[in-house]
Amino acid sequence: MTSPDHSRAALLALAVAAFAIGTTEFVIMGLLPEVAADLKVSIPSAGLLVSGYALGVAAGAPLLAALTARMERRNALLALLGLFIAGNALCAVAPNYAVLMLARVVAAFCHGSFFGIGAVVAAHVVPRGQGARAIALMFAGLTLANVLGVPFGTFLGQWAGWRSTFGAVTVLGAVAALGVWRLVPPLPELHAPDMRREMAVLRQPQVLLALAMTVLGFGGVFTVFTYIAPILQTQSHVSVGATGWVLVLFGAGTTLGNLLGGRLADWRLMPSLVAILVALTLILVGFTWTMHGTVAAIATVFVWGVAAFATVPPLQMRVVQQAVEGPHLASTLNIAAFNLGNAIGAFIGGAVIDRGPGLPALGLAGAAVTALGLLVTVWSMALERRRATSAVCTANA
């Protein structure tokens, strides 16, 4: 643990980097119509750029975790940010859909390992019992990307072309790298993880269930959010210019939800997670109807943002809590799990649009995915109670 001032500085640096990464991950959704029109592809095909990024995170997380395992943690974070900068620079100059997809995958490769390592670093530099809040503060950069980065990236892309947005993100990535270099201290006490020991935790059922909770619990969000721009413009009658402002409201909700989720996770992790997932499922069901009214849709988007990102700290903390013997890889894989959920959600949403009832049914599809995550969470709690009861009975025998 470092001094309070150093802790705050380190968390600030991690949050700035998270802001940069979050902006490039989410901004494509605000620019989906523009990208589709410019590259002459359909909206569902453009939506696959979200899946491509998410799958890049899922594939890159274990690979980059292994490649950076023996690096000092700050140096590992800087190397990952270098990859992020290169991928976004390629996005800005991509001449066609195939190159843009490749560039998105390259940029995504750093994502899982960065947040996985960053979460461990964040929890390490604060006093015991404040780990979830520290993780929430780091992820606040991700949620602020929804408040500022995504809306203003959308405005920039609508005004100067979507490529200009990725150019701006490239510059932002360089600024983030400078912040990590200057503000995150070297942490030699965080020894290089033993990858065999880290891999061993994946044999633990509760770790696997925690990863499944993340994939499904958060996957329902992206079943709908991937296509938020066309939903707002065609179903809610929000103008193209006003779409970015609605995303600002969503981002404000995600910021509030992230901080709320961190406090709830430090208080009572699993009961809080169940309550949040129930709320998120009901909100997605409700959006099936509220999306057809402008005011109702905008109000729902805000509440949805709160519930969606309130899941992030407890889901991340659950994995770290269960994988005591291998927190680095498990933390990284949980970031991959978030993005695998994003990819699955975007794919399901595209299928509903292409071969199903279309945009109006996305809320129900997203709710179904999140409800599956809720069932896995309840199952995990039941197994945990059963094991605790068995241990007590054995001790009393």
Give the sign of the dihedral formed by CA 202, CA 204, CA 208, CA 213.
negative
What is the identity of the amino acid at 330? A
Average pLDDT, rounded, for the chain: 84
Helix (H/G/I), strand (E/B), else coil: 188: coil
Angle at 109 between CA 153 and CA 76, to 5 degrees: 105
The structure's pTM equals 0.73
pLDDT the model gives residue 241:
78
Distance CA 369, CA 218 (A): 8
What are the structural domains, with CATH classification, of the chain? 4-185+193-396 (1.20.1250.20)
User: What residues contact residue 238 under an 8 Å CB cut-off, 6+ apart?
Assistant: 232, 246, 294, 297, 298
Write the pLDDT tens digit of every residue in 65-82.
Answer: 778 777 787 888 889 999
352 and 128 Cβ atoms separated by less than 8 Å: no
pLDDT at 40 over 80: yes
Residue 192 CA neighbour count, 13 Å, CB half: 12
CA distance 183 to 13: 6
* Closest to 246 in 3D by CA, of 228, 264, 259, 234: 228
How much is the average pLDDT of 91-106? 91
105-138 tens-digit pLDDT: 989 888 878 887 887 777 776 666 666 677 777 7
pLDDT in tens, 186-198: 766 555 566 676 6
Tokens of 152: 């203003």
Q: Kindly state the percentage of the chain with pLDDT values over 70.
A: 90
Neighbours of 21 (CB within 10 A): 30
Tokens of 126: 């604060």
Helical (H) or strand (E) element with 190: none
Q: Where are the alpha helices (DSSP H) in the chain?
A: 4-30, 32-39, 43-67, 73-93, 97-124, 131-144, 150-160, 162-183, 195-200, 205-225, 228-234, 240-267, 269-290, 294-310, 312-322, 327-355, 362-396
Structure tokens of 70? 């023996």
Q: What is the tens place of the pLDDT at every residue in 256-315? A: 888 888 888 888 888 989 999 999 999 999 999 999 999 999 999 999 999 998 988 888
pLDDT tens per residue, range 377-395: 999 988 888 877 776 666 6
* pLDDT score for 112: 75
Mean pLDDT of 218-226: 89
pLDDT tens per residue, range 308-329: 989 888 888 888 778 777 666 7
pLDDT given at position 299 = 94
Sequence-ordered list of residues with C-beta below 8 angstroms from that of 74, at least 6 positions apart, any chain? 180, 181, 184, 185, 186, 187
Q: What is the pLDDT of residue 288?
A: 92
